[in-house]
Structure 1
Amino acid sequence: MSEFLTIGEPISLFASEDTDKSLKDAVNWHKFLAGAEVNVAVGVSRLGHSAQYITRLGEDPFGDFIRDQLNENNIGTDYIDSTPDYWTAFQLKDKVSKGDPSIFYFRKGSAAAHFDKNMLDKIDFSDVKFAHLSGIFPAISDQALDAFNHFVALLQAHHIRTTFDPNLRPQLWSSQEKMIQTINGLAAQAEIILPGINEGEILMGSRDPEKIADFYLQNGELTQTVVVKLGPEGAFVKNKAGDSYTVNGFKVDEVVDTVGAGDGFALGVVTALMEGKSMKDAVIRGNAVGAFAVQAPGDNDGYPTPEQLQAFLDKNL
């Protein structure tokens, strides 16, 4: 039993330690646990909430590494199975002195891409308060998309609150048209949608935060709130009642790596809402966790403990 659920594909990440060297030329690497949804689970657990992660792993060293990392981060593995027939995904990420890093995936045909949706029928939803959904898992295979839709149906049947982050990965889709159509359809089934401003431009053709919010509020009957991530500028919030506002971001001394910031934002929002805080306070927390994330080299190693988060908020609010 758990307060929080998410489903996704965990990845063994090899992050280069050679600044501004290409993936081809880098020779020094550090291994991390990665994957958008697992990043959120790590941060939720670190902030003191029980979390279960749903996936399929290969019976290989990468799968063993991921299980160990999940256990170290106190993330439940009750709904993870392993298979000898398929392999666990991994990726390479370069280190850059400015801008976003390049990423190369080794994930096609992975164990998670062959996820057995019957596993979902074993889930105990009795204590679940929130589920976080991402556009990445349904992109890795038609089988994963089918499982994702089954998971959403179960969440709705059990009246579980949901967040959805588009997390666009164009390289995983057969075409941009299919990506846009599928992601927007999935978003319409979530209570809270968390698009980035760049994602909004791709998915509905505008960089105007209010137009992005209006599109998703009108597109989904179940959608109650849209939070448009604005990067360092913070986030724009609009709800079904028409209330809207902008929550400013936090300045940091040095940006080390931007990967994982959006997932940090999501976990900040989710954990605050699970604690009964207002949406505005949840977005403030999301901005704060995102600020922690960009100051660390791994995808989730920079996420704060409750004490670190409170100290940051006391200093910066």
Structure 2
Amino acid sequence: MSTRSAAPEVLVLGRCGVDIYPLQVGVGLEDVETFGKFLGGSAANVAVAAARLGRRPWLLSGVGDDPFGRFVRRSLRELGVDDTLVATDAAHLTPVTFCEVFPPDRFPIWFYRRPTTPDLQLETSHLDLDAITGAELLWVTLTGLSEEPSRSAHHAALAARAGVSGAASAGSDRRPETRHTVLDLDHRADFWPASGGVGAAREQAQRALAHATVAVGNLHECWVATGQDDADAAADALLDLGVELAIVKRGPEGVLGATRTERVAVAASPAVVVNGLGAGDAFGGSLIDGLLAGLPLAELLVRCNAAGAIVASRLECSTAMPTPEEISAHIAAHAAAYAATQPQKSSDA
């Protein structure tokens, strides 16, 4: 279907919901007395992060016909994300997510998404192919491939976009550099047991990677996708699977970015961690901004790392996303740490 004549700058396809986070740090859920309610879901958070950096994102997802669904829609609009393509599902409830906060590195999380959720009930009929093929950047997540009918809808979106890119670059072995299709290797084991676990996730990731230009994930997620648990080997495997840019997040060891001609390692960004759950989504929003701006790889990764560090120092996710000025200030304040950035040419360049 098509709802508008103009294509979005950024289209994010994936999950949204409500985060219910404790307002007491270092306390188990059974003892928490007060909670905060925030827009959540990885795709929604990434879209908000991109909007905070001045981009114009749309979200393609689903919510229930319930108060939380209305909250999600309202929050998206308030935070600069177009909700036109967010479907309302009368049969399933908007999901909620709870977490515990034990800084600096323990944040147990519980997803209330059973037996299924509106974002995983998206069908091909919900797709706006004009928006999908016309967007400057399409962002999809591995979570959306965990069950049907969302799985088929995601593959249809990727195939449609790849078909347009292929036509535009006929006679060339490269996709147009001004258009990006990003696969976020976001892997939640809880979403996959009924679908075949890691084996199924790897199969779906590799099928999707054939239509992506960029892949991004932490080291575990890259292992899920490739079977490689070394950062350089995982990056090589992702490039072999068809992407033009592979990004491997290595936690306290920083981040690795690799193309077929360039490889950059960026040190971890200093942060006083309050809640690490939104850092990856902030990284994603900054990645969107940097790709569209055409930033050099080292600068792109430094800004992504800084965005993640800023959000890790805050409790919530969506409403904690940083502005461009905050990212620049963080980088300036920690210039010594980023002096460890290590660009190098690939051996086969």
Matched with 1:91 is: 97
Structural mapping, 1:118-133, within 5 Å: 118-121=125-128, 123-124=130-131, 128-133=135-140
Structural mapping, 1:135-174, within 5 Å: 135-139=142-146, 141-159=147-165, 160-173=179-192, 174=194
Change over 3 Å in CA distance of 1:207–1:32 after alignment to 2: same
Change over 3 Å in CA distance of 1:249–1:99 after alignment to 2: closer
Cα deviation code 1:185-237 (max 9, x no counterpart): 223321111121122344444432110111111122xx111111111332112
Whichever residue aligns with residue 256 of structure 2, its letter is F
Change over 3 Å in CA distance of 1:161–1:216 after alignment to 2: same
TM-score w.r.t. the length of structure 2 is 0.84
Separation in structure 1 between the aligned mates of residue 216 and residue 73 of structure 2, nearest angstrom: 28
Q: Is the 8 A contact 2:132 2:138 kept in 1?
A: no
Deviation, 1:42, is 0.3
Stretches of structure 2 that go unaligned for 5 or more consecutive residues are: 1-6, 166-178, 336-349
Match of 2:287 among 269, 273, 297: 269
SS of residue paired to 2:276: coil
Deviation, 1:157, is 2.9
Matched, 1:198 2:229: no
Matched with 1:72 is: 78
Change over 3 Å in CA distance of 1:46–1:56 after alignment to 2: same
Matched with 1:315 is: 333
Matched with 1:226 is: 246
Matched with 1:43 is: 49
Deviation, 1:184, is 2.8
SS of residue paired to 1:237: strand
Separation in structure 2 between the aligned mates of residue 187 and residue 100 of structure 1, nearest angstrom: 31
Whichever residue aligns with residue 248 of structure 1, its letter is A
Cα deviation code 1:142-196 (max 9, x no counterpart): 1011111111122223334111121111111122221222223223321111121
Matched with 1:256 is: 274
Change over 3 Å in CA distance of 1:302–1:215 after alignment to 2: same
Matched with 1:23 is: 29
Q: Is the 8 A contact 1:273 1:279 kept in 2?
A: no
Deviating beyond 6 angstroms after TM superposition, the runs of 4 or more aligned structure 1 residues are none
Separation in structure 1 between the aligned mates of residue 158 and residue 104 of structure 2, nearest angstrom: 38
Name the Cα RMSD after superposition.
Answer: 1.8
Deviation, 1:126, is 7.4
TM-score w.r.t. the length of structure 1 is 0.92
SS of residue paired to 2:294: coil
Separation in structure 2 between the aligned mates of residue 280 and residue 3 of structure 1, nearest angstrom: 24
Report the number of matched residues.
312
Match of 1:238 among 255, 258, 261: 258
Separation in structure 2 between the aligned mates of residue 57 and residue 135 of structure 1, nearest angstrom: 19
Deviation, 1:135, is 0.9
Matched, 1:182 2:201: no
Separation in structure 1 between the aligned mates of residue 43 and residue 248 of structure 2, nearest angstrom: 18
Whichever residue aligns with residue 207 of structure 1, its letter is D
Q: Is the 8 A contact 2:239 2:260 kept in 1?
A: yes
Identity in percent:
23
Change over 3 Å in CA distance of 1:97–1:248 after alignment to 2: closer
Q: Is the 8 A contact 2:42 2:281 kept in 1?
A: yes
Deviation, 1:122, is 5.3
Stretches of structure 1 that go unaligned for 5 or more consecutive residues are: none
Separation in structure 2 between the aligned mates of residue 156 and residue 202 of structure 1, nearest angstrom: 23
Separation in structure 2 between the aligned mates of residue 121 and residue 205 of structure 1, nearest angstrom: 34
Q: Is the 8 A contact 2:51 2:80 kept in 1?
A: yes
SS of residue paired to 2:125: helix
Q: Is the 8 A contact 1:293 1:300 kept in 2?
A: no
Separation in structure 2 between the aligned mates of residue 210 and residue 166 of structure 1, nearest angstrom: 16
Matched, 1:114 2:136: no
Separation in structure 1 between the aligned mates of residue 282 and residue 289 of structure 2, nearest angstrom: 11
Separation in structure 2 between the aligned mates of residue 266 and residue 58 of structure 1, nearest angstrom: 26
